[in-house]
């Protein structure tokens, strides 16, 4: 489908793709993210349709930031894997981990295994790393009884709303991500780096621009300085692409934040963020960033069989608390290296 046809499709309330196999429309009237794609006929095979329309799917994700495929009944790991390979490249392994996940099959994982009563703030997957996935996929195998949505937000709009003076401050300084391992909180470094070999960790950090410090008792501290603003590799557009709000101690739920601060100084917290020069980020700046993230957030309840495909640089994602059993499958594809977009 040409760009002209795609534009015409967006102007209609509901459009029908070639051969009338699927319909397309924004899920929300006020927001193009996500585009909703549903079968227009019975027994449409999403994997076959996506493979035949791969270029169109890639363009629509770039335009909208994400697509929600609903009604195609993709709820098994092998089904998600086949879909990812139809529209993208080979699936990626989850490396340099920041949250607990269970590997289900191959490179299909559960979404974050975080206590269900807690929310997870908006973030772009692996934006703190030297390499990240351009695409991230979620598939609903089991929908929670209550809650459990995966809220999303457009990072293009977030960038545009941030005070230019704040943006410039981060453009000049970058942001610093500090992690402490082995103090009884968060993932152990062996899980994060997928090895028990200290030398292998040191080699990995050397290649990834991470400063490393071994502390007594086999504990570890790492520091990484990253840019807060990154250009999209396909559009060249500047995006607010970072974890600086997500990992800052002030973003934690009050009970967790207060318990950690009662035991650790800010430099010794399991995770925390600073300006790239090590100076503290002002509370009012973090409050402003959280407000903008929330203003741009849209959310929908999961239905079993839903697949959400996001451009991981354009769309941030989160998780709401939930009640009951919930299983959202996750996959990543299309690695982007920082050197390719610097």
Q: For 293-309, what is each residue's pLDDT tens digit?
A: 999 999 999 999 999 99
Which pLDDT belongs to residue 266? 84
In this structure, the number of other CB atoms found within 10 A of the CB of residue 161 comes to: 16
Q: If we measure between CA atoms, which residue out of 53, 48, 82, 78 comes closest to residue 67?
A: 53
> Is pLDDT of 100 > 70?
no
Could you read off the pLDDT of 101-110 as tens digits, one per residue? 567 767 888 7
3-151+298-341 CATH fold: Double-stranded beta-helix (3.60.130)
> Is pLDDT of 229 > 80?
yes
Return the DSSP state at 274: E
> Is pLDDT of 159 > 90?
yes
157-293 CATH fold: Double-stranded beta-helix (3.60.130)
Q: Give Cα 5 distance to the centre of its chain.
A: 30
Q: Which residues contact 254 (CB under 8 A, 6 or more apart)?
A: none
Which pLDDT belongs to residue 92? 79
Angle at 329 between CA 179 and CA 252, to 5 degrees: 35
Return the DSSP state at 303: -
Burial-class residue 23 by CB neighbours within 10 Å (0-12, 13-18, 19+).
middle
Its pTM stands at: 0.89
Q: Please list the residue range(s) of the chain that carry CATH number 3.60.130.10.
A: 3-151+298-341, 157-293
């Amino acid at each position: 489908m040409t760009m002209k046809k795609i534009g015409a499709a967006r102007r209609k309330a509901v459009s029908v793709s070639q051969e009338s196999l699927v319909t397309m429309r924004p899920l929300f009237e006020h927001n193009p993210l996500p585009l909703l794609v549903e079968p227009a006929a019975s027994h449409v095979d999403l994997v076959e349709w996506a493979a035949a329309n791969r270029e169109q799917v890639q363009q629509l994700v770039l335009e909208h930031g994400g697509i929600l495929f609903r009604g195609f009944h993709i709820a098994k790991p092998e089904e998600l894997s086949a879909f990812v390979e139809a529209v993208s490249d080979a699936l990626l392994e989850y490396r340099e981990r920041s949250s607990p996940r269970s590997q289900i099959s191959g490179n299909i994982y559960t979404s974050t295994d975080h206590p269900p009563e807690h929310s997870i703030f908006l973030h772009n997957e692996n934006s703190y790393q030297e390499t990240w996935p351009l695409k991230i996929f979620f598939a609903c195998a089991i929908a929670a009884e209550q809650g459990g949505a995966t809220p999303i937000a457009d990072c293009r709009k977030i960038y545009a709303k941030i005070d230019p003076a704040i943006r410039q401050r981060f453009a000049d300084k970058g942001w610093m991500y500090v992690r402490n391992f082995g103090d009884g909180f968060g993932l152990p470094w062996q899980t994060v780096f997928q090895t028990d070999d200290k030398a292998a960790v040191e080699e990995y950090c050397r290649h990834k621009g991470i400063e490393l410090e071994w502390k007594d008792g086999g504990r570890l501290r790492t520091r990484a300085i990253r840019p807060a603003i990154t250009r999209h590799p396909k559009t060249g557009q500047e995006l607010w692409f970072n974890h600086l709000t997500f990992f800052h101690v002030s973003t934690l739920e009050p009970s967790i934040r207060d318990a950690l601060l009662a035991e650790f100084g800010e430099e010794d917290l399991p995770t925390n963020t600073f300006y790239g020069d090590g100076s503290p980020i002002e509370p009012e700046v973090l409050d402003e960033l959280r407000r903008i993230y929330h203003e741009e957030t849209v959310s929908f309840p999961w239905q079993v069989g839903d697949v959400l495909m996001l451009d991981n640089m354009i769309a941030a994602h989160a998780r709401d608390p939930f009640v009951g059993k919930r299983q959202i499958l996750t996959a990543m594809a299309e690695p982007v290296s920082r050197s390719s977009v610097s």
